[in-house]
Amino acid sequence: MKRRIIASLLAVVAVIAVGPSRGWAQKGPIKVGFLTQMTGGGAAVGRDMSNGFTMYIEEAGKQIAGRKVEVIIEDTQGDPAQALTKLRKLVESDNVHAVAGIFLANEGYALAPKVDEYRIPTVWAVVSADDLTQRKPVKWAVRTGWTSSQPNHPFGEYVAKTLGYKKVVTVAADYAFGWEQVGGFQRTFEEAGGQVIQKLWPPLGTTDFGPYLPQIKRDADAVFAVMVAAMALRFPKQYQDAGLKARLPLIGGGTTFDEFVLPSLGDEAIGSITPLIYSAAIDTPVNKRFVKEFRTKYGKVPGYYAEASYSAARWIAEGAKAVGGNVEDKDKFLAALRKVEVSDAPRGPIKLDAYGNPIQTIYVRKVEKKDGELWNTVIQTFPAVSQFWKYKPEDFLKQPVYDRNYPACKYC
C-alpha cells in the first residue's frame, strides 16, 4: 500500500516536472527587471522611478495580456559597474523578459553594449544621454524619456522669438547632461537671432555658487541655468540673494525647476521658465488622475522621473499585448515595442522615431504659486517634437554630439 502511494506520488511529481513544462513556461509570469538607484545620492530619484513603474503595473492588476507580471527591482547604486552586475543578474539568473529603468548617462552607456549582446528588450525610462538614440543607437532598446537636447531645441527658438531675449548667459552643471542641454538651446537660440554671450560651468555637485554668480555678465537679458539634484535646491536662492533675480530673469533646463525640487524651493523660484516633456500641472483628465493617484499613494507630486517610468511600464505592457503575451519571442517583442503608440500618457501622446526616441509634446512651463504650492504652469506647448527638431536626422547626426565647446561660443 505504502509503496503504491509513493509510486503514484512519484508519478505525479514526474508528470509535473516533465510533462507540460513547455506549456507552463508559456503561462508563467512575464518577468521585468527594473534597474535604478535605491541607495546613495540619487536614491530619492530612484524611488520616484520605481514608484512610477510599479504604480502602472499595479493599476494593470499585475497582469499583462493575460499573464501575471513580476517586477524585480535592482539597485544600481549609481555605479555603472554595479548596474552591469545587476543586469547580468536579471538576465542570467532571473531570466527576465525585459529590462527597464536606468537613471544616469554613464549607466546607460555601460549597459548599452551588453543589452545588445544579451538581446534583451530594454526600455530606457529616464536616462537622457543624446547618443543612446543618436550616434550610438542600441538595437535592443527604446526610450520613453527624452534626449537632453530635445526640450531645449524648441525652447531656444521660443526664448528668442516669444520671450524676446537677445543675450543670454548659461550656467550649467559641467557634465554631458549640462552640455547637451546648453548645446541644444544655444543652437536654435542663435539660429533664431539670439546670442549666448557667456558660458559658465560649475562642477557637478556644486552647492556654493559664490564664485560663479559675480562672473555673470550684467548686460545679458536672461540667465539659462541647468542644475540637477542638490545644485537645483541651492541655486535659485543664491541667485536671488545675489540680487540677480530682479535684474536678469531666470530660465533654464527642465530639471532646474522640476517637480522633484519644487517642494523644497521657496518664492525665489516663482516666475522661472523651463521646458520639459512633462509638467504635473498639465491640464488633462489623464494627467490629473495620475497626479492625484500618485499623490495619494506616495505622498508627493510626481515629476518626470515618475511619469517616464510609469510610461515605460505602459510601453512594456502595450508591447506585450501586441504580441499576445508571447514575450518569449524576443524579436517580435522588440519590433512591437518599437511600434507602440500611446495617445493618452499623462504627458500626452507619444510615439517613437526610427531611432527609438519619443516624438512628444514639449511643455514650456512657468513656476507659479497655487494654494501655497509651487507648480509648473504650462504657458506654451510644442506638439510632436522629435529629438532632431526641424533638422533632417542624417544632417543632425553628422554634427558631433553637443559638448562643452560645441556649439562654440561665438559671442563670448
Partner 1 sequence: MRSALFSGPPVAAIIFLLLLISPPFLSSFLLTLLTQALIYAILAMSLDIILGYTGLASLGHAAYFGLGAYSVGILATRYGAGFWVVLPLGILLAVAVAAIFGLVALRATGVYFLMITLALGMVVWGLAHRWVTMTQGDNGISAIPRPELGLPLSLAHSIPFYYFALAGFLITFWILRVIVRSPFGQTLVGIRESESRMRTLGYHVWLHKYIGFVIAGGFGGFAGVLWACYNGFVSPVDLQLATSVEVLLMVALGGRGTLLGPALGAAIIVLLKNLVSVYTHRWLLILGVVYIGTIVYAPEGIVGAVRQWARRATPGPLRSET
Q: Are 172 and 225 in contact (CB under 8 A)?
A: yes
Give 88 or 161: the residue with its C-beta nearer to partner 1: 88
Q: How far is the CB of 8 from partner 1 (least distance, A)?
A: 33
Give 80 or 393: the residue with its C-beta nearer to partner 1: 80
Residue closest to 104 by CA, chosen among 139, 135, 132, 129: 129
Reported residue count of the chain is 412
Q: Are 336 and 322 in contact (CB under 8 A)?
A: yes
Q: Which residue has the cell 509648473?
A: 376
Q: How far is the CB of 73 from partner 1 (least distance, A)?
A: 8
Residues facing residue 71 across a β-bridge? 32
- C-alpha span between 209 and 276 (Å, rounded): 24
Give 227 or 323: the residue with its C-beta nearer to partner 1: 227
Q: Which residues lie near partner 1 (CB under 8 A)?
A: 38-39, 74-75, 77-82, 84-86, 88-89, 92-93, 105-106, 109-110, 112-114, 129, 174-176, 204, 403-404
Q: Which residue has the cell 502511494?
A: 5
Residues facing residue 99 across a β-bridge? 33, 122
Q: How far is the CB of 50 from partner 1 (least distance, A)?
A: 9
Q: What's the one-letter identity of residue 382?
A: F
- C-alpha span between 276 and 327 (Å, rounded): 32
- C-alpha span between 277 and 125 (Å, rounded): 13
Q: Are 401 and 130 in contact (CB under 8 A)?
A: yes
- C-alpha span between 51 and 372 (Å, rounded): 25
Give 84 or 230: the residue with its C-beta nearer to partner 1: 84
Grid coordinates in use for 79? 555605479
Give 26 or 39: the residue with its C-beta nearer to partner 1: 39
- Look up residue 213 and give its DSSP letter: G
Give 87 or 320: the residue with its C-beta nearer to partner 1: 87
- C-alpha span between 49 and 45 (Å, rounded): 6
Q: How far is the CB of 85 from partner 1 (least distance, A)?
A: 6
Using omega within 30 degrees of 0 as the cis cutoff, is the peptide bond preceding 407 cis? yes
386: left (phi over 0), alpha (psi -120 to 50) or beta: beta
Helices (H), 275-392: 285-298, 304-322, 330-339
Q: How far is the CB of 201 from partner 1 (least distance, A)?
A: 10
Q: How far is the CB of 203 from partner 1 (least distance, A)?
A: 8
- Radius of gyration over every alpha carbon of the chain, rounded to an integer in angstroms: 23
Give 77 or 147: the residue with its C-beta nearer to partner 1: 77
Give 105 or 126: the residue with its C-beta nearer to partner 1: 105
Give 101 or 249: the residue with its C-beta nearer to partner 1: 101
Helices (H), 19-78: 21-27, 43-59
- C-alpha span between 10 and 16 (Å, rounded): 10
Residue 198's SS3 state is strand
Give 43 or 60: the residue with its C-beta nearer to partner 1: 43
Q: How far is the CB of 197 from partner 1 (least distance, A)?
A: 23
Give 106 or 240: the residue with its C-beta nearer to partner 1: 106
